[in-house]
Amino acid sequence: MSLKSVSPQAARQLLDAGAVLVDIRGADEYAREHIRGARHLSLDQLNAAGTELVGSKAVIFHCRGGQRTRMNEARLAGCVSCDAYMLEGGIQAWKAAGLEVEQDPTQPLELQRQVMIAAGSLVLLGVLLGYALSPWLFLLSGFVGGGLIFAGISGFCGMALLLQRMPWNRRLNQP
């Protein structure tokens, strides 16, 4: 099974004709920015929520840039019994086409971006301190690099768990 690719303009027409738009990104991404009227069903929720999509004329799946949707194409197509589409270029292409999105800048940055900012800052700090104070401080950069490798291999990111508990992320974590 595969999804038919659809441009943002064609997706807009399908939505006007009754199609359902499903945002498969994480809750933190959706809270900060989403296409008006899109249902949020992250990839983790989709199998359990597939019944919510039964009876739809057509379903259009999207993510940020299209890669996640493309990588999960067969799984997504299997969740519906109607015409299923993939929004070319995701929400980024939707915005580039001049179509409207709802944004809430009071929501925290997406957790993945927070991890990249924190990890990059710690690596840079380790390098600067290593040159300025003591070569032993280069170990900070090595520790962060090792942590990123471990996170990539295992799927467990301690930094993400720590950041998720920070005060600015608490509103998103509450039911």
DSSP single-letter state for residue 102: E
Inter-CA distances, 144 with 139, 159, 165, Å: 9, 9, 19
79 catalytic residue (yes or no)? no
Amino acid identity for residue 111 in this structure: L
How many other C-beta atoms lie within 10 A of the C-beta of residue 108?
19
How many residues comprise the chain? 175
Extended beta strands in the chain, E state: 4-6, 20-23, 33-34, 39-40, 58-62, 83-87, 102-103
- Is 85 within 8 Å of 4 (Cβ atoms)? yes
Beta bridge partners of 169: none
Separation of first and last alpha carbons in the chain: 35
Catalytic residue among 63, 79, 82, 157: 63
Q: Which residues are catalytic?
A: 63
